[in-house]
Homo-oligomer: A and B are copies of this chain.
Amino acid sequence: MSQSAPDLSHHLSKEARERLPNPMKDIWRRVVSSGRLDVANMANGDPHYSLFPFKQLVFEVPSVTEAQDPVAEWRAGTCPTQSFRSYKDEDCALSLRNAFQYTHGAGLPQCQKVLKDLTDFFFAPPNHTVTLTLGNSDGITKLFRLLGDSGDYFLTDEFSFPGMTNAPLSCGIKWVGIKMDAGGIIPEEMEKILKNWDETKGRRPHVLYIVPVGQNPTGSTLSLERRQKIYCMAQKWDLLILEDDPYYFLQYDLPPAEKIPEVEGTYSQRFAKHLIPTILSLDVDGRVLRVDSFSKILAPGMRLGWITSNKLFHKKLVTYTDSGTQHPHGFGQAFITEMLGEKGWHLDGLCRWLQSLRLDYKRRRDFLLEMFRREVEPTGYATVNIPQGGMFVWMEVHFERHPHYRPGLRDATSSAVAPRTNIETLLLALFEKCMENDVVVMPSSIFSIPEDSMWIGNDNQHVPIRDRTKFFRATFAGTEENIEKGMVRFGRTLKDFFEQPMTVNL
């Protein structure tokens, strides 16, 4: 944040503004900050660490420096291993005495520090603070509560992961989808919504929630140019940006870290060199709240991530965490601190794992695309975008070529924006056909943000999202066997669906 950073406190929800901290923490803080050395503290009901039944934790993991391509060798069972150890009574990066005690909602200082260092190294945000979370789902839903009041509208990608976008609906928050193309949300479409907003009908959206790399479900990645435009617009319209970026380190079309001729220095510097700048890195105002996770790069069951934000939101997040989930578990904090510490992988080692992991996913992606080209494209009924990151491809089906395709439907009675075609019906019929043929792909209707005439306005050019919901999301996170089988069956199902339409039950 610059010296002249704006006051953003008006973005806080009523709940966040009214939340009281635990008054006991003030007393504990007074004790700690008093500097007195011989205090008999009978105030805290913390079990004594000598009662924690853990002598040590051992995490046996791949030895990333001994392997050439650690992920490939790990999968083949040939990768040597190393162990990170956390002790209760011996020296280590984060003693189990602390890891297993109650602590601050932001996490233990040692773990917060290694994550802050990682954040500074990759994203270099000006004057931000790190708050630990229990993974991105926890982090994002906490941010929704922190910023949203009932009746608010939040902006997001018009195709979005419903596990997240459904979450704040029951708190009275509504979504406004921003039109997307292969490159993600279109900044000009966002500006149109903000400019034409009728404030008599509701507060203009003040929050934008996006997944900028390998977006779920479309697989799109926002270019630097779009990021800059979006950030400028956020400044102009006083938006906060929730940058949910679990796939950031899974960017595929970059030169390998080893072979970047213009970069000297450490492995991590070479690895970081060509990663796209995050929106957080552009943030001079403190209006970006970035949400990071280990779920996609280590394992989902880690349930540990972190939010990078300005100090105001950090403080409010901690107060919320202290009277909600509480701080993350000691197991994960011990693991992360050890993993990023001097005796662990350290940042360089993590980057070796990430480099190898992104190669692995790139191979999977390329394999899926190859199978698509072999099994699906020749039918002429579907095309695919090449995702630059993440785990998903977004396959477009050309329903307008289907014998049962009907343009020109219209339902003028609904306040929601009515479809004009039967594309959604065809989509769901094709989905059922796929299920019958033992291939499961996700229909785009599950991800589409419903439109409301309130914010679409009287734009006659506007094609309703239900007429554009002609996609399936497929993942390349699975095995090659699964991917090949899936594409063979998807291609065959498409052929049946388009060429034997009598068997389609609409």
Taking beta carbons and an 8 Å cutoff, which residues of A are in contact with B?
A: 14-24, 27, 30-31, 34, 36, 38-48, 50-62, 71, 74-75, 81, 99-103, 134-135, 137-138, 141, 162-164, 166-167, 169-171, 216, 295-296, 298-304, 322-333, 335, 353, 357, 360, 391-392, 435, 438-442, 446, 473-475, 477-479, 482-483, 485-486, 489-490
Contact = CB atoms under 8 A, between A and B. Distances in A.
A149 to B, nearest CB: 12
B138 A325 contact: yes
When A and B form their complex, which 5 residue pairs have the shortest distance between CB atoms, in order from nearest?
Answer: A301-B330, A331-B331, A100-B301, A40-B486, A100-B299
Contact of A440 (B40, B50, B302, B330): B40
Given A329-B304, A435-B30, A438-B38, A61 B54 contact: yes
Given A170-B19, A438-B38, A482-B40, A55 B45 contact: no
B357 A329 contact: no
Contacts of A490: 42
B50 A99 contact: no
A326 B101 contact: no
Given A46-B300, A302-B330, A326-B134, A51 B75 contact: yes
A55 B60 contact: yes
B439 A39 contact: yes
A329 B326 contact: no
Contact of A171 (B15, B137, B300, B440): B15
A28 to B, nearest CB: 8
A328 B300 contact: no
A216 B45 CA distance: 9
Contacts of A325: 134-135, 137-138, 141, 303, 325
A479 B49 CA distance: 10
A23 B446 contact: yes
Given A47-B300, A331-B329, A141 B324 contact: yes
Given A43-B473, A47-B300, A48-B479, 9 more contacts: A20-B166, A31-B440, A41-B478, A41-B486, A45-B216, A47-B299, A99-B301, A303-B326, A329-B331
**Number of copies of chain A assembled together:** 2
A24 B163 CA distance: 8
A329 B325 CA distance: 13
Residue with the greatest number of chain B CB neighbours at <10 A, chosen from A23, A55, A322: A55
Nearest to A300: B102
26 contacts: A15-B171, A18-B170, A20-B162, A20-B170, A23-B446, A34-B435, A41-B486, A43-B473, A47-B477, A48-B477, A48-B479, A50-B75, A51-B71, A51-B74, A99-B301, A100-B299, A100-B302, A103-B301, A137-B324, A138-B326, A141-B324, A167-B324, A301-B331, A303-B327, A303-B328, A303-B330
A53 to B, nearest CB: 5
A21 B46 CA distance: 37
A39 B440 contact: yes
A24 B482 contact: no
A483 B48 CA distance: 12
Given A22-B162, A323-B166, A299 B52 contact: yes
B299 A53 contact: yes
Nearest to A88: B60
B43 A440 contact: yes
A386 B11 CA distance: 49
A326 B305 CA distance: 13
A474 B101 contact: no
Contacts of A477: 44-48
B137 A441 contact: no
Contacts of A360: 51
A33 to B, nearest CB: 12
Contact of A303 (B51, B59, B81, B329): B329
Contact of A438 (B18, B40, B53, B74): B40
A446 B24 contact: yes
A101 B301 contact: yes
A61 B376 CA distance: 55
